[in-house]
């Protein structure tokens, strides 16, 4: 069934029928009622894409993330969808798998489809050519009335943003681990082009340096932001020898892979090596041992970025909502092993067990407030 047939049935012009159904221009109520009645009688369903082109907007929101299979992005996407559902908006979700060119292509597609808002969920890339290409797509989209909001730092993008305190959270975690007595650290890091990686690594290193603790270059092992990346990075770290007493994985999913690698190699956590992550995805509370991490309110961050995108702009300045991270100490960390605390061979071939990890007493997480860091 076509719009032309609806116009003939209602006794109006094609243009009037179109305006009555898409709401782009005021139409007399009697004509609007006739057109809608004709559409119902004929079973006509308006073309949503055509309406979007006519109105320069739609009820669609584009959400572009790095990998929706990553629990970090899944939790944020859940918040976005919850907020969008409350406004009767449809969310189109795309994963770039951390390919900058793919991100540009998805933005271009959403712009052509006149999405009401575009949300970029995930770290920006420290790449000038990517920044210029992204701006070339988003600037005309915003000038035409589109809205853009982001999560995480995008160095030169002018957009409303929800910024997790990656630098401060990593620094607070380093302080907590130093307070446990650790001085020998390693970091399982992600791709250096990502701003999230740069911020978390810098925050951790700077806090160590404040206490006179060096992080040697060979103890920074890079890998993909995935479980497999964490697994491979942990294996590489162990193969280099000179084992640290504490390992910081810059994301929880990398820490999950590291835990598997340590177990395969017979390295106990936390008796031999303490392990910490960042994000507090739900999975890490169920690990054995549960993972120490920096907790971010991921679902709430998704709701907030959606609200920012729908809120009317106030002047040329972008709005920034900063979200703090909270250090949560769990049983994957303990004070560093000492000659008397480590397991040693005793007469008769038995093993003397090290003292119990004080964080294993009960299942309650220990949350560090700002005054404790």
SS3 151: strand
| Helix residue spans in the chain (DSSP H) | 3-10, 14-22, 29-42, 48-55, 71-86, 100-112, 128-143, 166-179, 195-210, 227-239, 252-264, 298-310
| Residue 370: both structure tokens together | 């700002």
| Residue 372: both structure tokens together | 């404790």
Q: In the prediction, which pLDDT does 368 show?
A: 65
Q: Is the pLDDT of residue 228 over 50?
A: yes
> Rg of the chain's alpha carbons, rounded to an integer?
27
Separation of alpha carbons 268 and 273, rounded Å? 6
* 8 A C-beta contact, residue 75 and residue 13: no
Q: How far from the centroid of its chain's Cα atoms is residue 324's Cα?
A: 14
Q: What is the CATH T-level fold of the domain 167-295+326-339+359-372, as seen in this structure?
A: Rossmann fold (3.40.50)
Separation of alpha carbons 358 and 158, rounded Å? 47
Q: Is the pLDDT of residue 338 over 90?
A: no
Closest CA to 107 of 79, 133, 75: 133
* 8 A C-beta contact, residue 167 and residue 211: no
Separation of alpha carbons 333 and 354, rounded Å? 14
Q: Is the pLDDT of residue 350 over 50?
A: no
Closest CA to 123 of 93, 91, 92, 150: 150
Domain 3-46 has CATH 3.40.50.1980: no
* 8 A C-beta contact, residue 138 and residue 148: yes
* Residue ranges of domains in the chain: 3-46, 60-164+299-323, 167-295+326-339+359-372
pLDDT tens digits, one per residue of 83-102: 999 999 999 999 998 888 89
Q: Is the pLDDT of residue 343 over 60?
A: no
pTM value is: 0.76
The number of helices, as runs of H, and strands, as runs of E, in the chain is 12, 15
pLDDT tens digits, one per residue of 42-85: 877 666 545 554 444 578 999 999 899 899 999 999 999 999 99
Separation of alpha carbons 289 and 333, rounded Å? 9
CATH for 60-164+299-323, options being 3.40.50.2300, 3.40.1440.10, 3.90.180.10, 1.20.272.10: 3.40.50.2300
Q: Is the pLDDT of residue 259 over 90?
A: yes
* 8 A C-beta contact, residue 251 and residue 293: no
Lowest mean pLDDT among 218-227, 307-316, 318-327: 307-316
Q: In the prediction, which pLDDT does 53 show?
A: 46
Q: In the prediction, which pLDDT does 26 show?
A: 67
Lowest mean pLDDT among 49-53, 213-217, 275-279: 49-53
pLDDT tens digits, one per residue of 143-202: 888 899 999 887 667 789 999 999 999 999 999 999 999 999 999 999 888 889 999 999
Same topology, domains 60-164+299-323 and 167-295+326-339+359-372? Answer is: yes
């Amino acid at each position: 069934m076509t719009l032309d047939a609806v116009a003939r049935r209602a006794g109006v012009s094609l243009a009037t029928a179109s305006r009555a159904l898409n709401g782009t221009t005021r139409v007399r109520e009697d004509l609007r009622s006739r057109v809608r009645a004709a559409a119902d009688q004929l079973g006509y369903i308006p073309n949503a894409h055509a309406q979007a082109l006519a109105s320069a907007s739609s009820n669609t929101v584009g959400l572009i993330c790095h990998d929706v299979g990553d629990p970090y992005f899944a939790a944020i996407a859940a918040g976005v969808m919850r907020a969008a559902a409350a406004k009767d908006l449809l969310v189109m979700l795309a994963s770039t798998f951390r390919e900058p060119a793919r991100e540009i292509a998805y933005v271009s597609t959403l712009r052509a489809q006149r999405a009401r808002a575009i949300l970029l969920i995930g770290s920006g890339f420290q790449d000038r050519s990517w920044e210029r290409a992204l701006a070339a797509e988003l600037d005309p989209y915003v000038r035409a009335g589109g809205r853009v909001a982001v999560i995480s730092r995008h160095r030169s993008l002018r957009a409303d943003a929800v910024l997790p305190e990656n630098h401060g959270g990593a620094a607070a975690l380093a302080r907590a681990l130093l307070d446990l007595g650790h001085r020998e650290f390693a970091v399982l890091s992600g791709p250096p082009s990502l701003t999230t990686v740069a911020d978390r690594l810098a925050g951790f290193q700077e806090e160590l340096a404040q206490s006179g603790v060096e992080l040697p270059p060979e103890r920074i092992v890079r890998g993909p932001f995935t479980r497999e990346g964490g697994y491979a990075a942990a294996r590489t770290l162990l193969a280099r020898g000179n084992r640290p007493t504490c390992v910081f994985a810059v994301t929880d999913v990398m820490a999950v892979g590291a835990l598997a690698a340590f177990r395969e190699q017979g390295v106990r956590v936390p008796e031999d090596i303490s392990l910490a992550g960042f994000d507090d995805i739900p999975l890490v509370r169920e690990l054995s041992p549960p993972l120490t991490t920096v907790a971010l309110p991921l679902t709430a961050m998704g709701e907030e970025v959606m609200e920012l995108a729908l809120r009317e702009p106030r002047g040329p300045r972008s709005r920034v909502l900063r979200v703090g991270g909270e250090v949560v100490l769990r049983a994957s960390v303990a004070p560093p092993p000492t000659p008397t605390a480590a397991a040693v061979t005793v007469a008769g071939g038995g093993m003397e067990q090290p003292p119990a990890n004080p964080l294993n007493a009960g299942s309650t997480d220990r949350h560090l407030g700002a005054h404790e860091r």
